[in-house]
A and B are shown apart, each in its own frame.
Chain A
Amino acid sequence: AQTVTQSQPEMSVQEAETVTLSCTYDTSESDYYLFWYKQPPSRQMILVIRQEAYKQQNATENRFSVNFQKAAKSFSLKISDSQLGDAAMYFCAYRSSHYGGSQGNLIFGKGTKLSVKP
């Protein structure tokens, strides 16, 4: 079974600085998808960025980028020029490419709480 591990329960960053959130996963599959979701105090789960495992190029989305290391099964999120609105829980998630069975089964890590200091 696949697992997702986020080893940093809490992180803190100064406004305008850069922070990296770590995520590792375990799978025997070669094709899959990885996501970072942000959950602000409102609790809505918001997609931050997505990475297809077959793509070598790291995904970027404005100030957010990932460092995807397939061999190491590592998927870290870098937030540049941190803003107060970035304060939230961040969840790393894995989804199999197999279609069928638990088609919605996003496997989540336990999350990292990010605080942004003004």
Chain B
Amino acid sequence: SQTIHQWPATLVQPVGSPLSLECTVEGTSNPNLYWYRQAAGRGLQLLFYSVGIGQISSEVPQNLSASRPQDRQFILSSKKLLLSDSGFYLCAWSPAGTAGNTIYFGEGSWLTVV
């Protein structure tokens, strides 16, 4: 069966420091991969998605970037964190191919920028 792992679970970083959140998927090949952010009391906002290695699409302008160095690895990064980057970040995956495939989420990462 497929599993998705995301780490670290909790992160406290000072303003201006770099960020790296990692996500890996097991048990499937060539998945679509996503990074979402959830603001307090809100649903999820799509930040990035990827349909293959090195292929990244950004949905919103921001201080963050994403990379996919391997088929089942997705990384969310920042060179210099802002206070506004604080939030709950979720990595997710869906099977490649058919539109409308269910999206499955990781455990999430709490980021607090201080």
Interface residues of A (CB under 8 A from B): 4, 32-33, 35, 37, 42-47, 50, 52, 91, 93, 95-100, 102-111
Contacts and interface: CB of A to CB of B under 8 A. Distances in A.
B85 interface: no
Contact of B34 (A42, A100, A104, A108): A104
B24 interface: no
Contacts, number: 70
Interface in B25-49: 32, 34, 38, 41-44, 46, 49
Given A43-B108, A45-B90, A104 B43 contact: no
B40 to A, nearest CB: 11
Interface in B92-113: 92, 94, 98-100, 102-108, 110
Nearest to B105: A45
Contact of A110 (B43, B46, B104, B107): B43
| Chain B interface residue bracket vs A | 20 to 34
22 contacts: A33-B100, A37-B105, A43-B38, A44-B106, A44-B108, A45-B44, A45-B105, A46-B105, A47-B102, A52-B100, A91-B43, A99-B98, A102-B46, A102-B49, A102-B59, A104-B103, A106-B44, A106-B46, A106-B103, A108-B42, A108-B44, A110-B42
Q: DSSP majority for the B interface? A: strand
B94 A104 contact: yes
Given A43-B108, A44-B107, A98 B43 contact: no
B99 A97 contact: yes
A35 B42 CA distance: 16
B99 A98 contact: yes
A68 B107 CA distance: 29
B23 interface: no
